[in-house]
Structure 1
């Protein structure tokens, strides 16, 4: 189980498991060229609950189905050397995939196995859905971020994106491509390596704490 879960107290662990169960009852998981496994379902549900654990009444009203593929894929969901186009690790909530999330199994598992690379594709995609809850995927999660913090957050994003694009940040390069991706990439870092982020990016850490653990704001 994730570092996040291990840090929880016993009562919180029980609540986390109940939240996972409720998610799995609400959201369909579709396995493409894969046998359904309990571990896959647990990792998907964990990825959904981790970023919204401090919001006990949260429901992903913009998600109906998670599609799990064996490997990285292209825009047509072709994988393992079939088709052309860039390799995609995960995708959620846009265009013809509205109300759907697509994940590769290898990326899903990598996010919970690797303890050093600040990567978790599934959490990344669920953060996009959180961002979308205010009506737009724009890197500004107005549903969970107080109005007073929006301009400071935008300023922080632009400052750090500039550092990323000048190769002066340890936040991965994809975060420098847009505000949308910066928020999701920073959230991956926040949940995967929280102590490291607090030390290396205290301002971003504090702002994300205000998003995801609002009692600390």
Structure 2
């Protein structure tokens, strides 16, 4: 039942379904009216079985549409106007954020007695990465600040390296994915790219901390 409610409440699908039903009802009604117009009213009228079946299906579909309208609210048929903010909010999914994420990085020193330099990687999820970077976004910092703070936070999370630098391609991929999933938004402030939390991101961050 929840699946049908979700489809019906969705602006796009509700408009498509409602429009299709009305079009089919109108088409079948016109066909039947044309068929009846050539028949004498005094003569008995019989219909092929397939026409009766089609008409019955259309009647049931129309009744279902009216019932859904009364239960879940009327949906406009031709009044869907794209709304970027609403579309972005609908894209948010905590489940999708739990997808695996691998970040390659260079480390500049270990925490043991014999520091070493090299390359390694962090295996986690986008949700874990958001937990690390999210607290730094409340002040809407510039991207260079976000990158510096994320490197420091990841270094503290790993505990085995004094300093880490996430590879630029991996960092950019993470950034784009977090934005596409509705957790953050990227705002161009003149020549500066700033990171901000979305309303969904703020709620998720409060839940994680």
When the two structures are superposed, what TM-score results if normalisation uses the length of structure 2? Answer: 0.20
Where is the strand percentage greater, Structure 1 or Structure 2?
2
Larger radius of gyration: 2
